[in-house]
Amino acid sequence: MSDQPLQGQVITSQLIASLAARTALETPGVLRLEPTIHGLLARLGPAALNNLRNPGSQNGTYRHDGVTATISDGTTHVHLDIATDITYAALNVAETVRERVRENIRHTALTPGPVDISILAIEHHHGTTHA
């Protein structure tokens, strides 16, 4: 038997960000996540080093293109910047994304907190014909 202790799996803010981003991108009507200057600078600045040293933690914030996730005392807070397909009502898309993200976070045993969504662009999907 190994003397190495078994390491517990920890749900990090990076994992929550990744889960939220994937969930959003799989929701019909979402074209992409939109990078913002805030997110980009966070990626290039000291926060980037922090992310490399400690890729998300159980009490911290993780930012990547278009998604920010924070875990505080077992409750998550997610912010998503999205672009939506013009053939869908953006508000309904945002609602669906929110419900799905919260549902998926519930599966991690953390408490889903607010999921803030910014619709930054509404565009035609490639292959969608103009009305």
Binding residues for another protein, rule CB under 8 A, total 30
Name the phi and psi angles at 101, rounded to 5: -65, -45
**Residue 94 near another protein by CB under 8 A:** yes
Q: 29 Cβ partners below 8 Å, 6+ apart?
A: 84, 85, 87, 88, 90, 92, 93, 96
Q: Which stretch binds another protein (CB under 8 A): 5-13, 18-26, 48-56, 115-123?
A: 115-123
**Cα 17 from Cα 27, distance rounded (Å):** 15
Of residues 53 through 82, those in contact with another protein by CB under 8 A are 78
**Cα 111 from Cα 98, distance rounded (Å):** 14
**Residue 117 near another protein by CB under 8 A:** yes
The binding site for another protein (CB under 8 A) comprises: 34-37, 40-41, 44, 78, 84, 86, 89-92, 94-95, 98, 102, 114-123, 130-131
